[in-house]
Amino acid sequence: MNDLGDNGSPTSGADNPHTPTPVKEPALVGAGTHTAENAGQHIRLGNSLDDNLADLGRVGDDTGRTTPVVHAGGDTPVIHAGEHLPGGHAGDHLPGGHAGDHLPTNELNNPVHTGHGDTTPPGTHHPDTPSSTAGHADDATTTPHHDGPGDTGTPHHGAEPPVGSSGLDNAAAGPGSGPHVPDAETPARPEFMRDGDNPYGPEGSLTPEQVHEIQVYRANHEPGYFEQFYKSNGNRKSLDFFDESGKTPPQLTRQSPNDPWTTVDKAPEPLKPRYLDDWVKQGPETASPDALSHLNDAAETRHYAIHHDKVMENWKHEANKAHEEHPTWETGAEQAEARGAYRESHVHMRDSSEAYGEAVAEHHVIPEHYAGATRETTYGPRNGNDQFDQVWRREDGGYVVVEAKSSVGTELGARNLPSGKRVSQGTREYFFDILDEMRKRGETHPSELVLADKLEQALKSGKLDYIVVKGEKNVGEYAGYHMRKFDISDRSMP
């Protein structure tokens, strides 16, 4: 669910394949001499993880998924806490095997800090942070179809990173990726940028922020650099592509085709949604007994996944510190094991959070507000990008489009439009960009093209509700939801 917050899917995300640690394959740009004169001759225009890590791009390939046709309140697989944790329980990967020795004291609904894809602020990415995209390109959510436990979001199915995340966004590539802009508007050549084949100098001589500054400068100035690493809308082609710095260039965005590319965290806030009314808030007491059982299971699974993820994060930090202070074969091996365990735990945490958010929509919100609605089948990629979280057909022939978040603190995801402009979930621009993606998939799955046309017609006829659903904060037991309707009416019409 493209939910990494502004900066996070399929029904649950639990069907995503295991994501091994990605192996970097350098995509070195043929450098040439990076003099100020050469850099300025050709000016071309074209997020790293954020606080809401689960808003990262969803794991998986681009094979279509099929959402089973179910009725509101229907059964979904029950998920039991701990079933998918690495080794089955938290202690397996901990130094000494004791989970309690490394537990943080903060409440589990707080955001997980590890430093997403579509919505990740540049400057925070680190090679040992889990990349749930496993080499895939930036997505929309995330986002925004990416959802995490955080009470504060960033930016797929993310955010949705993810999200980041994370958000990552496969928004359609559009024309105008490289128009020239006036010299005065383009970034100045960083004073710490070296001449020669490696503009970054010796490894470790620059901060991550300085590396990103050089990468952004090269994307705007250096012939071939943008095309090597980016799609025409500023999304990265692959998170496993890295330049001479050994780092993946940051995701880019721009206000218009006449503006230079900049990193997502330095760009203006994405276009925000409007709403038709205030939040509808409901506790768990109105859910049916069967629905409540499903929701409690999903909440418990999410709770333990967040808990385990924090334990693995602490272990990773301790292993990193130990290896940096006294590097030995043993500390290096533990560092590698800790990084792998954290990567796996973080993917499971993110998937559990997304599954919980979608369960809240399916088992409580839809039956309560749209009784008799039937879930529509969609074929978006398994990583959750370029799709709505859920689409339901109402009994009156209208439709409900759902963006689902696991927590009231999870922000909406964002995506780059073909022009490079960034927009939030819940906006008219975001809605129609997803319809465009559905129509592209319609070449392989004709029903998706038909559904996209029906959604557009329902919107024109006033028979479409576009809503966001967020689970209430909890510590492992379902506590209710918040729901609100987006206003995506055409304000240009009289």
**Per residue in 459-473, pLDDT tens?**
999 999 999 999 999
Cα 220 to Cα 150: distance, rounded to the nearest angstrom: 34
Cα 112 to Cα 479: distance, rounded to the nearest angstrom: 21
Strand, coil or helix: what is 393?
Answer: strand
The residue written with tokens 């680190």 in the block is 126
Mean of per-residue pLDDT scores for the chain: 73
Tell me what pLDDT residue 252 has. 87
Q: How far is CA 476 from CA 250, 297, 336, 353, 434, in A?
A: 36, 8, 31, 12, 33
pLDDT of residue 30 exceeding 70: no
Strand, coil or helix: what is 486?
Answer: strand
The residue written with tokens 């940028």 in the block is 193
Report which residue type is found at 255.
Q
Tell me what pLDDT residue 295 has. 98
Cα 98 to Cα 318: distance, rounded to the nearest angstrom: 14
pLDDT of residue 358 exceeding 90: yes
pLDDT of residue 407 exceeding 60: yes
Averaged pLDDT, 211-234: 90
- Confidence class of residue 107 from pLDDT cuts 50, 70 and 90? very low
Tell me what pLDDT residue 170 has. 38
Secondary structure element (H or E) that encloses residue 466, with its range: strand 464-471
* Residue 250: closest CA among 232, 265, 260: 265
Cα 266 to Cα 255: distance, rounded to the nearest angstrom: 12
Q: Strands 374-375 and 390-393, how do they pair?
A: antiparallel
DSSP string computed for 265-302: GGSPPPBPPEESS--EEE-GGGS-HHHHHHHHHHHHHH
Tell me what pLDDT residue 69 has. 41
Strand, coil or helix: what is 362?
Answer: helix
pLDDT of residue 403 exceeding 70: yes
Averaged pLDDT, 306-323: 97
Cα 133 to Cα 189: distance, rounded to the nearest angstrom: 31
Confidence (pTM) = 0.63
Tell me what pLDDT residue 171 has. 38
Query: DSSP alpha helices (H): ranges in 222-375?
Result: 225-229, 289-325, 329-360, 366-369
Number of other CB atoms surrounding residue 24 within 10 Å: 16
pLDDT of residue 319 exceeding 50: yes
The answer to whether 389 touches 402, Cβ cutoff 8 Å, is: yes
Tell me what pLDDT residue 492 has. 61
Number of other CB atoms surrounding residue 26 within 10 Å: 11
Lowest mean pLDDT among 51-65, 325-339, 354-368: 51-65
Higher pLDDT: 418 or 344? It is 344
pLDDT in tens, 157-179: 333 333 333 333 333 344 344 43
